[in-house]
Chains A and B, each alone.
Chain A
Amino acid sequence: MRERYLLRGNEAIAESAIRAGCQCYFAYPITPQGELVEHMAHNMPRLGRTFIQAESEVAAINMVYGAAAAGVRTMTSSSSPGISLKQEGISYLAGANLPAVIVNVVRGGPGLGNIAPSQCDYFQAVKGGGHGDYHMIVLGPSTVPEAGELTMLAFDLADRYRTPVMILADGLLGQMMEPVELPAPIDMASLPAKEWAATGARGREPNIILSFDLSPDNLKKMNLALQAKYAEIRKNEVRYEEAETEDADIVIVAYGSTARIAKTVVRMARAEGIRLGLFRPITLWPYPYEPLRALADRVDTVLTVEMSAGQMWEDVRLAVAERANTPFYGEMGGIVPTPKEILTEVRKHAR
Protein backbone atom coordinates (compact mmCIF):
# COMPACT_ATOMS: atom_id res chain seq x y z
CA MET A 1 0.00 0.00 0.00
CA ARG A 2 1.18 3.50 -0.77
CA GLU A 3 1.78 5.80 2.14
CA ARG A 4 -1.30 7.63 3.33
CA TYR A 5 -1.18 11.34 4.06
CA LEU A 6 -3.73 13.23 6.11
CA LEU A 7 -4.54 16.15 3.83
CA ARG A 8 -7.12 18.85 3.43
CA GLY A 9 -9.11 18.79 0.20
CA ASN A 10 -7.32 21.98 -0.83
CA GLU A 11 -3.93 20.36 -0.28
CA ALA A 12 -4.90 17.13 -2.05
CA ILE A 13 -5.95 19.12 -5.12
CA ALA A 14 -2.77 21.19 -5.09
CA GLU A 15 -0.45 18.21 -4.61
CA SER A 16 -2.26 16.17 -7.25
CA ALA A 17 -1.96 19.04 -9.70
CA ILE A 18 1.79 19.06 -9.10
CA ARG A 19 1.94 15.31 -9.66
CA ALA A 20 -0.16 15.69 -12.81
CA GLY A 21 2.60 17.90 -14.18
CA CYS A 22 1.06 21.33 -13.65
CA GLN A 23 3.87 23.59 -14.79
CA CYS A 24 2.32 27.00 -14.16
CA TYR A 25 -0.17 27.97 -11.48
CA PHE A 26 -1.68 31.43 -11.10
CA ALA A 27 -4.12 32.56 -8.43
CA TYR A 28 -5.39 35.28 -6.18
CA PRO A 29 -5.96 34.36 -2.50
CA ILE A 30 -9.52 33.82 -1.32
CA THR A 31 -11.11 31.80 1.50
CA PRO A 32 -11.91 28.89 1.72
CA GLN A 33 -9.19 27.76 -0.71
CA GLY A 34 -6.23 29.56 0.85
CA GLU A 35 -4.34 26.33 1.59
CA LEU A 36 -4.37 25.47 -2.10
CA VAL A 37 -2.63 28.72 -3.03
CA GLU A 38 -0.21 28.36 -0.14
CA HIS A 39 0.70 24.79 -1.03
CA MET A 40 1.49 25.89 -4.58
CA ALA A 41 3.42 28.97 -3.39
CA HIS A 42 5.55 26.71 -1.23
CA ASN A 43 6.14 23.86 -3.66
CA MET A 44 6.05 25.14 -7.25
CA PRO A 45 9.20 27.32 -7.09
CA ARG A 46 11.10 24.50 -5.35
CA LEU A 47 10.32 22.29 -8.35
CA GLY A 48 11.44 24.97 -10.78
CA ARG A 49 7.86 25.61 -11.82
CA THR A 50 5.89 28.83 -11.98
CA PHE A 51 3.76 30.24 -9.17
CA ILE A 52 2.42 33.77 -9.51
CA GLN A 53 0.13 35.46 -7.03
CA ALA A 54 -1.75 37.42 -9.64
CA GLU A 55 -3.05 40.96 -9.18
CA SER A 56 -6.60 39.73 -9.72
CA GLU A 57 -8.66 36.71 -10.70
CA VAL A 58 -8.98 38.22 -14.13
CA ALA A 59 -5.23 38.41 -14.52
CA ALA A 60 -4.78 34.88 -13.14
CA ILE A 61 -7.09 33.26 -15.68
CA ASN A 62 -5.45 35.21 -18.49
CA MET A 63 -2.02 34.05 -17.34
CA VAL A 64 -3.49 30.56 -17.56
CA TYR A 65 -4.56 31.39 -21.11
CA GLY A 66 -1.00 32.39 -22.01
CA ALA A 67 0.60 29.35 -20.38
CA ALA A 68 -1.96 26.99 -21.93
CA ALA A 69 -1.24 28.53 -25.34
CA ALA A 70 2.44 27.75 -24.80
CA GLY A 71 1.46 24.10 -24.38
CA VAL A 72 2.15 23.51 -20.69
CA ARG A 73 -0.20 22.09 -18.09
CA THR A 74 -1.63 24.99 -16.12
CA MET A 75 -4.17 25.66 -13.40
CA THR A 76 -5.87 28.37 -11.40
CA SER A 77 -8.09 28.08 -8.35
CA SER A 78 -10.47 30.31 -6.48
CA SER A 79 -13.79 30.45 -4.71
CA SER A 80 -17.15 31.72 -5.91
CA PRO A 81 -16.71 35.52 -6.22
CA GLY A 82 -13.28 34.98 -7.75
CA ILE A 83 -14.66 32.42 -10.19
CA SER A 84 -17.20 35.00 -11.35
CA LEU A 85 -14.28 37.23 -12.29
CA LYS A 86 -12.66 34.40 -14.23
CA GLN A 87 -15.64 33.82 -16.48
CA GLU A 88 -14.31 36.06 -19.25
CA GLY A 89 -11.12 34.05 -19.42
CA ILE A 90 -12.93 30.71 -19.26
CA SER A 91 -15.02 31.67 -22.26
CA TYR A 92 -11.83 32.61 -24.16
CA LEU A 93 -10.16 29.32 -23.19
CA ALA A 94 -13.17 27.40 -24.46
CA GLY A 95 -13.32 29.46 -27.65
CA ALA A 96 -9.60 29.09 -28.32
CA ASN A 97 -9.63 25.32 -27.56
CA LEU A 98 -7.09 25.66 -24.79
CA PRO A 99 -6.63 23.04 -22.06
CA ALA A 100 -6.65 24.32 -18.49
CA VAL A 101 -7.84 23.30 -15.06
CA ILE A 102 -9.91 25.65 -12.91
CA VAL A 103 -10.77 24.82 -9.30
CA ASN A 104 -13.79 26.35 -7.59
CA VAL A 105 -13.98 25.74 -3.84
CA VAL A 106 -17.52 27.03 -3.62
CA ARG A 107 -18.71 29.26 -0.77
CA GLY A 108 -22.02 30.90 0.10
CA GLY A 109 -23.39 33.53 -2.30
CA PRO A 110 -24.60 35.59 -4.05
CA GLY A 111 -22.44 38.67 -3.82
CA LEU A 112 -19.79 38.55 -1.14
CA GLY A 113 -21.87 35.85 0.54
CA ASN A 114 -19.76 34.16 3.17
CA ILE A 115 -16.95 31.63 3.45
CA ALA A 116 -19.05 28.62 4.46
CA PRO A 117 -19.59 25.59 2.20
CA SER A 118 -22.17 25.84 -0.57
CA GLN A 119 -23.09 24.37 -3.95
CA CYS A 120 -24.65 27.55 -5.28
CA ASP A 121 -22.33 27.84 -8.30
CA TYR A 122 -23.70 24.77 -10.11
CA PHE A 123 -25.50 26.75 -12.79
CA GLN A 124 -22.46 28.92 -13.40
CA ALA A 125 -20.24 25.86 -13.78
CA VAL A 126 -22.39 23.57 -15.90
CA LYS A 127 -24.60 25.90 -17.88
CA GLY A 128 -21.86 28.27 -19.02
CA GLY A 129 -20.93 31.12 -16.68
CA GLY A 130 -19.29 33.16 -19.39
CA HIS A 131 -20.55 34.34 -22.76
CA GLY A 132 -21.07 32.15 -25.79
CA ASP A 133 -22.14 28.61 -26.66
CA TYR A 134 -19.61 26.64 -24.70
CA HIS A 135 -19.28 24.04 -22.01
CA MET A 136 -16.46 22.91 -19.85
CA ILE A 137 -16.09 19.51 -18.28
CA VAL A 138 -17.13 19.82 -14.62
CA LEU A 139 -16.01 17.25 -12.06
CA GLY A 140 -17.62 17.07 -8.61
CA PRO A 141 -15.41 15.26 -6.09
CA SER A 142 -17.07 13.95 -2.96
CA THR A 143 -14.11 12.98 -0.79
CA VAL A 144 -10.58 14.27 -0.32
CA PRO A 145 -8.98 11.29 -2.10
CA GLU A 146 -11.40 11.72 -4.97
CA ALA A 147 -10.57 15.42 -5.16
CA GLY A 148 -7.00 14.34 -5.81
CA GLU A 149 -7.93 11.67 -8.36
CA LEU A 150 -10.25 13.97 -10.27
CA THR A 151 -7.57 16.66 -10.37
CA MET A 152 -5.24 14.20 -12.11
CA LEU A 153 -8.06 13.25 -14.47
CA ALA A 154 -8.89 16.91 -15.11
CA PHE A 155 -5.47 17.54 -16.65
CA ASP A 156 -5.80 14.49 -18.89
CA LEU A 157 -9.29 15.43 -20.04
CA ALA A 158 -8.25 19.04 -20.62
CA ASP A 159 -5.41 17.93 -22.88
CA ARG A 160 -7.40 15.20 -24.65
CA TYR A 161 -10.25 17.51 -25.59
CA ARG A 162 -8.39 20.83 -25.55
CA THR A 163 -10.92 22.31 -23.18
CA PRO A 164 -11.10 23.99 -19.79
CA VAL A 165 -12.05 21.55 -17.02
CA MET A 166 -13.47 22.65 -13.69
CA ILE A 167 -13.14 20.92 -10.34
CA LEU A 168 -16.33 21.95 -8.53
CA ALA A 169 -15.60 21.44 -4.85
CA ASP A 170 -16.93 23.33 -1.84
CA GLY A 171 -15.67 24.81 1.41
CA LEU A 172 -16.32 21.64 3.37
CA LEU A 173 -14.30 19.47 1.01
CA GLY A 174 -11.58 22.10 0.77
CA GLN A 175 -11.19 22.44 4.54
CA MET A 176 -11.71 18.89 5.80
CA MET A 177 -8.87 16.38 6.16
CA GLU A 178 -8.91 12.75 5.17
CA PRO A 179 -6.26 10.11 4.43
CA VAL A 180 -5.05 10.24 0.84
CA GLU A 181 -2.82 7.87 -1.08
CA LEU A 182 -1.04 10.19 -3.44
CA PRO A 183 -0.37 8.97 -6.96
CA ALA A 184 3.12 8.86 -8.39
CA PRO A 185 4.01 11.92 -10.47
CA ILE A 186 3.25 11.36 -14.12
CA ASP A 187 6.02 11.04 -16.67
CA MET A 188 5.75 14.29 -18.59
CA ALA A 189 7.69 12.84 -21.50
CA SER A 190 4.91 10.32 -22.04
CA LEU A 191 2.38 13.02 -22.87
CA PRO A 192 1.57 13.59 -26.53
CA ALA A 193 3.16 16.70 -28.06
CA LYS A 194 0.90 19.70 -28.56
CA GLU A 195 1.46 20.49 -32.22
CA TRP A 196 -0.99 23.35 -32.08
CA ALA A 197 0.77 25.31 -29.30
CA ALA A 198 2.47 28.69 -29.72
CA THR A 199 6.05 27.59 -29.26
CA GLY A 200 7.75 29.42 -32.11
CA ALA A 201 7.18 28.86 -35.83
CA ARG A 202 10.34 26.88 -36.48
CA GLY A 203 10.14 24.88 -39.71
CA ARG A 204 6.38 25.12 -39.83
CA GLU A 205 3.62 27.61 -40.59
CA PRO A 206 2.71 29.91 -37.66
CA ASN A 207 0.26 28.61 -35.08
CA ILE A 208 -2.42 31.17 -34.33
CA ILE A 209 -4.49 30.81 -31.17
CA LEU A 210 -7.71 32.76 -31.12
CA SER A 211 -11.38 32.68 -30.23
CA PHE A 212 -12.38 35.08 -32.92
CA ASP A 213 -13.75 35.26 -36.45
CA LEU A 214 -15.59 38.26 -37.83
CA SER A 215 -17.19 36.17 -40.57
CA PRO A 216 -20.48 34.68 -39.32
CA ASP A 217 -20.00 31.67 -41.61
CA ASN A 218 -16.58 30.94 -40.20
CA LEU A 219 -17.64 31.56 -36.62
CA LYS A 220 -20.52 29.17 -37.16
CA LYS A 221 -18.00 26.56 -38.31
CA MET A 222 -15.93 27.20 -35.19
CA ASN A 223 -19.05 26.70 -33.10
CA LEU A 224 -20.02 23.53 -34.92
CA ALA A 225 -16.56 22.14 -34.24
CA LEU A 226 -17.00 22.96 -30.56
CA GLN A 227 -20.39 21.27 -30.50
CA ALA A 228 -18.95 18.18 -32.17
CA LYS A 229 -16.32 18.07 -29.46
CA TYR A 230 -18.99 18.39 -26.77
CA ALA A 231 -20.95 15.53 -28.35
CA GLU A 232 -17.81 13.41 -28.16
CA ILE A 233 -17.31 14.32 -24.50
CA ARG A 234 -20.96 13.51 -23.73
CA LYS A 235 -20.49 10.13 -25.38
CA ASN A 236 -17.21 9.22 -23.64
CA GLU A 237 -16.90 10.94 -20.32
CA VAL A 238 -20.10 10.58 -18.30
CA ARG A 239 -19.18 9.40 -14.80
CA TYR A 240 -21.41 8.61 -11.84
CA GLU A 241 -21.74 6.29 -8.86
CA GLU A 242 -24.70 4.30 -7.64
CA ALA A 243 -24.87 2.96 -4.09
CA GLU A 244 -27.54 0.60 -2.74
CA THR A 245 -29.86 1.27 -5.67
CA GLU A 246 -30.62 -2.35 -6.65
CA ASP A 247 -33.71 -2.71 -4.47
CA ALA A 248 -34.33 0.96 -3.72
CA ASP A 249 -37.75 2.60 -3.56
CA ILE A 250 -36.22 6.01 -3.03
CA VAL A 251 -32.92 7.41 -4.26
CA ILE A 252 -31.15 10.55 -3.23
CA VAL A 253 -29.38 12.39 -6.03
CA ALA A 254 -26.51 14.41 -4.63
CA TYR A 255 -22.98 15.38 -5.65
CA GLY A 256 -19.86 16.54 -3.85
CA SER A 257 -19.90 16.93 -0.07
CA THR A 258 -23.65 16.47 0.05
CA ALA A 259 -23.31 13.06 -1.56
CA ARG A 260 -20.95 11.77 1.12
CA ILE A 261 -23.34 13.00 3.82
CA ALA A 262 -26.11 11.20 1.93
CA LYS A 263 -24.11 7.97 2.13
CA THR A 264 -24.49 8.11 5.89
CA VAL A 265 -28.19 8.78 5.42
CA VAL A 266 -28.51 5.64 3.28
CA ARG A 267 -27.03 3.60 6.12
CA MET A 268 -29.36 5.21 8.68
CA ALA A 269 -32.45 4.78 6.50
CA ARG A 270 -31.67 1.14 5.74
CA ALA A 271 -31.28 0.52 9.49
CA GLU A 272 -34.90 1.53 9.94
CA GLY A 273 -36.17 -0.41 6.96
CA ILE A 274 -36.35 2.32 4.32
CA ARG A 275 -34.97 1.08 1.01
CA LEU A 276 -32.91 4.13 0.17
CA GLY A 277 -30.18 4.39 -2.47
CA LEU A 278 -27.83 7.06 -3.71
CA PHE A 279 -27.13 8.28 -7.23
CA ARG A 280 -24.04 10.46 -7.35
CA PRO A 281 -23.08 12.35 -10.53
CA ILE A 282 -19.30 12.66 -10.74
CA THR A 283 -19.30 14.56 -14.01
CA LEU A 284 -21.71 17.44 -13.58
CA TRP A 285 -21.10 18.28 -17.20
CA PRO A 286 -21.63 16.04 -19.05
CA TYR A 287 -24.51 15.15 -16.73
CA PRO A 288 -25.42 11.46 -16.38
CA TYR A 289 -28.96 11.91 -17.71
CA GLU A 290 -29.40 8.42 -19.20
CA PRO A 291 -28.33 6.35 -16.20
CA LEU A 292 -30.44 8.50 -13.92
CA ARG A 293 -33.40 8.09 -16.27
CA ALA A 294 -32.95 4.33 -16.23
CA LEU A 295 -32.84 4.36 -12.45
CA ALA A 296 -35.95 6.54 -12.24
CA ASP A 297 -37.91 3.82 -14.04
CA ARG A 298 -37.26 1.48 -11.12
CA VAL A 299 -37.98 3.75 -8.13
CA ASP A 300 -40.89 5.77 -6.76
CA THR A 301 -39.03 8.84 -5.64
CA VAL A 302 -35.89 10.67 -6.74
CA LEU A 303 -35.01 13.14 -3.99
CA THR A 304 -32.49 15.81 -4.91
CA VAL A 305 -30.37 17.10 -2.02
CA GLU A 306 -28.14 20.11 -2.59
CA MET A 307 -26.57 23.06 -0.81
CA SER A 308 -28.44 25.42 -3.11
CA ALA A 309 -31.98 26.50 -3.93
CA GLY A 310 -32.30 23.62 -6.40
CA GLN A 311 -29.84 24.13 -9.22
CA MET A 312 -28.90 20.53 -10.04
CA TRP A 313 -32.56 19.72 -9.38
CA GLU A 314 -33.30 21.11 -12.86
CA ASP A 315 -31.02 18.50 -14.44
CA VAL A 316 -32.56 15.78 -12.28
CA ARG A 317 -36.02 16.73 -13.49
CA LEU A 318 -34.78 16.82 -17.08
CA ALA A 319 -33.51 13.28 -16.64
CA VAL A 320 -36.42 11.84 -14.66
CA ALA A 321 -39.28 13.69 -16.38
CA GLU A 322 -42.53 12.00 -15.18
CA ARG A 323 -40.98 8.63 -14.35
CA ALA A 324 -40.87 9.24 -10.58
CA ASN A 325 -41.61 11.87 -7.96
CA THR A 326 -38.85 14.48 -7.86
CA PRO A 327 -38.93 16.30 -4.52
CA PHE A 328 -36.13 18.61 -3.47
CA TYR A 329 -34.36 19.29 -0.20
CA GLY A 330 -31.75 22.00 0.03
CA GLU A 331 -29.88 24.32 2.32
CA MET A 332 -28.51 27.76 1.51
CA GLY A 333 -26.27 30.43 2.94
CA GLY A 334 -23.42 28.11 3.79
CA ILE A 335 -25.45 25.74 5.95
CA VAL A 336 -24.56 22.08 5.48
CA PRO A 337 -27.50 19.70 5.87
CA THR A 338 -26.83 17.07 8.54
CA PRO A 339 -27.55 13.36 8.08
CA LYS A 340 -30.48 13.57 10.49
CA GLU A 341 -32.06 16.46 8.64
CA ILE A 342 -31.81 14.64 5.34
CA LEU A 343 -33.19 11.44 6.93
CA THR A 344 -36.22 13.38 8.19
CA GLU A 345 -36.84 14.44 4.62
CA VAL A 346 -36.39 10.90 3.32
CA ARG A 347 -38.96 9.57 5.81
CA LYS A 348 -41.59 11.90 4.35
CA HIS A 349 -41.30 10.06 1.05
CA ALA A 350 -40.93 6.51 2.37
CA ARG A 351 -43.66 4.00 1.64
Chain B
Amino acid sequence: MDFFTACVWAAGIAIGIAAFGCGIGQGMGLNGAVQGIARNPESSGKVTVTLLIGLAMIESLCIYALVVALILIYAHPQAAEIIKTVAAVAK
Protein backbone atom coordinates (compact mmCIF):
# COMPACT_ATOMS: atom_id res chain seq x y z
CA MET B 1 0.00 0.00 0.00
CA ASP B 2 2.99 2.29 0.54
CA PHE B 3 3.54 2.31 -3.22
CA PHE B 4 0.05 3.68 -3.93
CA THR B 5 0.40 6.29 -1.19
CA ALA B 6 3.65 7.38 -2.84
CA CYS B 7 1.84 7.58 -6.21
CA VAL B 8 -0.80 9.91 -4.78
CA TRP B 9 1.89 12.06 -3.17
CA ALA B 10 3.83 12.17 -6.44
CA ALA B 11 0.72 13.13 -8.41
CA GLY B 12 -0.17 15.91 -6.00
CA ILE B 13 3.35 17.34 -5.92
CA ALA B 14 3.69 17.04 -9.72
CA ILE B 15 0.53 18.98 -10.53
CA GLY B 16 1.31 21.51 -7.80
CA ILE B 17 4.77 22.29 -9.18
CA ALA B 18 3.47 22.32 -12.77
CA ALA B 19 0.60 24.68 -11.95
CA PHE B 20 2.95 26.94 -9.99
CA GLY B 21 5.45 27.20 -12.85
CA CYS B 22 2.85 27.56 -15.58
CA GLY B 23 0.93 30.14 -13.55
CA ILE B 24 4.03 32.28 -13.10
CA GLY B 25 5.00 31.88 -16.76
CA GLN B 26 1.55 32.77 -18.08
CA GLY B 27 1.21 35.67 -15.68
CA MET B 28 4.54 37.11 -16.80
CA GLY B 29 3.66 36.63 -20.46
CA LEU B 30 0.26 38.25 -20.12
CA ASN B 31 1.68 41.11 -18.08
CA GLY B 32 4.35 41.75 -20.71
CA ALA B 33 1.80 41.65 -23.51
CA VAL B 34 -0.57 44.08 -21.79
CA GLN B 35 2.27 46.49 -21.02
CA GLY B 36 3.56 46.24 -24.60
CA ILE B 37 0.11 47.01 -26.02
CA ALA B 38 -0.35 49.82 -23.50
CA ARG B 39 2.88 51.44 -24.72
CA ASN B 40 2.15 50.84 -28.38
CA PRO B 41 -1.53 49.97 -29.13
CA GLU B 42 -0.80 49.62 -32.89
CA SER B 43 1.29 46.53 -32.15
CA SER B 44 -1.62 44.65 -30.58
CA GLY B 45 -1.98 42.25 -33.55
CA LYS B 46 1.65 41.12 -33.45
CA VAL B 47 1.74 40.89 -29.66
CA THR B 48 -1.53 38.90 -29.57
CA VAL B 49 -0.24 36.29 -32.05
CA THR B 50 3.00 35.81 -30.10
CA LEU B 51 1.10 35.70 -26.82
CA LEU B 52 -1.39 33.18 -28.20
CA ILE B 53 1.37 30.81 -29.28
CA GLY B 54 3.27 31.26 -26.02
CA LEU B 55 0.19 30.69 -23.84
CA ALA B 56 -0.81 27.59 -25.84
CA MET B 57 2.67 26.11 -25.30
CA ILE B 58 2.70 26.87 -21.56
CA GLU B 59 -0.86 25.61 -21.11
CA SER B 60 -0.04 22.31 -22.80
CA LEU B 61 2.75 21.74 -20.27
CA CYS B 62 0.28 22.03 -17.41
CA ILE B 63 -2.16 19.70 -19.20
CA TYR B 64 0.64 17.13 -19.63
CA ALA B 65 1.38 17.32 -15.90
CA LEU B 66 -2.33 16.86 -15.15
CA VAL B 67 -2.51 13.79 -17.39
CA VAL B 68 0.63 12.27 -15.81
CA ALA B 69 -0.77 12.95 -12.33
CA LEU B 70 -4.09 11.30 -13.25
CA ILE B 71 -2.25 8.33 -14.77
CA LEU B 72 -0.31 7.90 -11.52
CA ILE B 73 -3.54 7.83 -9.52
CA TYR B 74 -6.09 6.09 -11.77
CA ALA B 75 -4.27 4.30 -14.57
CA HIS B 76 -0.88 3.26 -13.25
CA PRO B 77 0.58 0.83 -15.84
CA GLN B 78 1.98 -1.57 -13.21
CA ALA B 79 -0.90 -1.36 -10.73
CA ALA B 80 -2.29 -4.86 -11.41
CA GLU B 81 1.12 -6.52 -11.10
CA ILE B 82 1.90 -4.66 -7.90
CA ILE B 83 -1.44 -5.71 -6.37
CA LYS B 84 -0.66 -9.34 -7.34
CA THR B 85 2.80 -9.11 -5.78
CA VAL B 86 1.45 -7.52 -2.59
CA ALA B 87 -1.27 -10.24 -2.36
CA ALA B 88 1.34 -12.99 -2.89
CA VAL B 89 3.58 -11.53 -0.20
CA ALA B 90 0.62 -11.19 2.19
CA LYS B 91 -0.22 -14.90 1.75
On whether the two chains bind one another, the answer is no
Name B's A-contacting residues (CB within 8 A). Answer: none
